[in-house]
C-alpha cells in the first residue's frame, strides 16, 4: 500500500558516511577466476570493479567506519545516538544482531539496536522506519545503516552472480528539523510469491547448515537474473509513478534519482520508461558493483561529498530486490 505522508514532517539527514574495504576486485581479476571477460561484464552490467572484505572482517566492522563518519558530520557524540537500525542480509552472526555489535563498537551506550532484512530494499525500509521514530518524537538521533558483505554469500565459480556483487557500508543520522525536510511520500512493498527469485536456500530454520548444504553450495545466493531484471525495471518505474502521484509532484521536479545500483541496464531501463534525463540519475555501480543495502547510502554520501545535493532539493530514493521487495520515497533535502 502506498502511504502519503504530511508535506512537513521535519526530518533531516543530518550526516552521512560510507566505507568500502581495501581489496579491489576488477573485471580482469574475474577473468582469471571464471569464464567471463571484462567486455562481457561491462556490456551486461556496467560494472568495472567492486570491493571485497578481508577474512575475519564482519559487516559490523564496515558499519563502524561509515557510522563514525555520519556521526561526525552530524556534529553529535557517539553516546547521543538513541537508536540504531542496521539493514543487512549478512549480519556477523545469526544471533545477536549486527546492530547490537555496532552499538558496542561505536560506544553508543544509550541506543537501542535492531537489524532489518529487506535485501537490496533494506536502506529504503530503514530510512522510513527510522523517520517514524523522529516524527513521533520518540528519539532525537537515529542511526540508519545499510551494510552487506555479499562476498560472504557469493559463489565465485558462478559467473552470473560473482560479477555483480561487492561489499560496502553506508550510514545516515536522522534528526528532527524545524523546516520542511523529510519524506513527502513513500511506499514499502513486497511480492513474497517471488521469494525464490533471489534466495540463499540453506542456513535458516527450514534448511539448517549441513554437510549436504555445503556440498550443494546452498549457502550461496541464487538469483533468477532475467526475472529480477524485468521486475526491477517494470516495478520500479510503476512505483515511482505512484509515489509521485501521491505527493502531487511532477517527475521533472525531482532533482536527483537515487536508484539501487544493481545493474546499469536496469537504471537505463527505468530512465527510458519514465523519460528521466540521464543527468538526474546518480550512478556509481561501475566502481562498487551491487552492494545491496549499502548501495543507496553510498550513492547519497558521494553525492553530498561532491556538493551535488543542495538544501530544498527533491530526491527520489528507490530500492528493489530480495523478497521480492521495493521501497520508494521522495525526500526534501
- The residue written with cell numbers 563498537 in the block is 105
**Can you tell me the distance from the alpha carbon of 295 to that of 277, in angstroms, rounded to the nearest whole number?**
21
Quick one: pLDDT at residue 55? 95
Which is catalytic among the residues 16, 27, 100, 120?
120
- Is 260 tagged catalytic? yes
Task: Determine the average pLDDT of the residues in 220-244.
Answer: 93
Cβ-based burial of 214 (10 A; exposed 0-12, middle 13-18, buried ≥19): exposed
For 194, the 3-state DSSP assignment is: helix
Is residue 207 annotated as part of the catalytic site, yes or no? no
- Catalytic one of 27, 100, 260, 263: 260
pLDDT of residue 3 exceeding 50, the answer is: no
Q: For residue 241, what is the domain's CATH number? A: 3.40.47.10
Band of pLDDT at residue 9, cut at 50, 70 and 90: low
Active site residue 65: no
Judging by DSSP bridges, how do beta strands 141-149 and 83-87 pair with one another?
Answer: parallel
Question: Phi-psi region for residue 214, left (φ > 0), alpha (ψ -120 to 50) or beta?
Answer: alpha
Percent of the chain with pLDDT over 70: 97
Q: Mean pLDDT over residues 240-252, rounded?
A: 95
Strand, coil or helix: 156: coil
Q: How many structural domains is the chain composed of? A: 1
**What is this structure's pTM?**
0.94
Concatenated DSSP letters for 231-281? HHHHHHHHHHHHHHHHHT--GGG--EEEE--S-HHHHHHHHHHHT--GGGB
Closest CA to 158 of 107, 101, 222: 222
- Residue 42's domain comprises 1-333
- 100, 141, 263, 290: the active-site residue: 290
Q: Where are the alpha helices (DSSP H) in 279-328?
A: 285-288, 295-305
**C-alpha grid cell for residue 243?**
509515489
> If you average pLDDT over every residue of the chain, what do you get?
94
Q: Is 309 helix (H, G, I), strand (E, B) or coil?
A: coil
- Distance of alpha carbon 260 from alpha carbon 127, whole angstroms: 14
Amino acid at each position: 500500500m502506498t502511504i502519503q505522508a504530511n508535506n512537513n514532517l521535519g526530518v533531516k539527514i543530518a550526516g552521512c558516511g560510507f566505507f568500502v574495504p581495501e581489496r579491489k576486485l576488477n573485471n580482469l581479476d574475474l577473468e582469471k577466476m571464471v569464464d567471463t571477460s571484462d567486455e562481457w561484464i561491462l556490456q551486461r552490467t556496467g560494472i568495472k570493479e567492486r570491493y571485497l572484505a578481508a577474512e575475519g572482517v564482519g559487516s559490523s566492522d564496515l558499519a563502524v567506519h561509515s557510522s563514525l563518519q555520519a556521526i561526525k558530520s552530524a556534529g553529535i557524540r557517539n553516546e547521543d545516538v538513541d537508536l540504531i537500525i542496521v539493514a543487512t542480509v549478512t549480519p556477523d552472526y545469526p544471533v545477536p544482531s549486527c546492530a547490537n555489535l555496532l552499538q558496542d563498537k561505536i560506544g553508543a551506550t544509550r541506543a537501542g539496536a535492531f537489524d532489518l532484512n529487506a535485501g537490496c530494499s533494506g536502506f529504503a525500509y530503514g530510512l522510513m522506519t527510522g523517520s517514524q521514530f523522529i516524527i513521533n518524537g520518540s528519539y532525537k538521533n537515529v542511526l540508519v545503516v545499510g551494510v552487506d558483505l555479499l562476498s560472504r554469500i557469493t559463489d565465485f565459480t558462478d559467473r552470473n552472480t560473482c560479477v555483480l556483487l561487492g561489499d560496502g557500508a553506508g550510514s545516515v543520522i536522522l534528526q528532527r528539523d524545524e523546516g520542511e525536510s523529510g519524506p513527502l511520500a513513500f511506499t514499502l512493498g513486497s511480492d513474497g510469491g517471488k521469494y525464490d527469485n533471489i534466495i540463499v536456500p540453506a542456513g535458516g530454520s527450514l534448511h539448517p547448515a549441513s554437510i549436504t548444504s555445503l556440498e550443494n553450495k546452498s549457502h550461496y545466493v541464487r538469483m533468477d537474473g532475467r526475472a529480477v531484471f524485468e521486475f526491477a525495471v517494470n516495478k520500479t518505474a510503476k512505483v515511482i509513478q505512484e509515489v509521485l502521484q501521491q505527493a502531487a509532484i511532477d517527475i521533472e521536479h525531482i532533482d536527483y534519482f537515487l536508484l539501487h545500483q544493481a545493474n546499469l541496464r536496469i537504471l537505463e531501463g527505468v530512465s527510458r520508461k519514465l523519460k528521466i534525463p540521464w543527468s538526474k540519475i546518480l550512478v556509481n555501480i561501475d566502481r562498487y558493483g551491487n552492494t545491496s543495502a549499502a548501495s543507496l547510502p553510498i550513492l547519497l554520501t558521494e553525492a553530498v561529498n561532491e556538493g551535488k545535493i543542495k538544501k530544498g532539493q527533491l530526491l527520489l530514493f528507490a530500492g528493489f530486490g530480495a523478497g521480492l521487495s521495493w521501497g520508494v520515497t521522495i525526500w526534501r533535502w
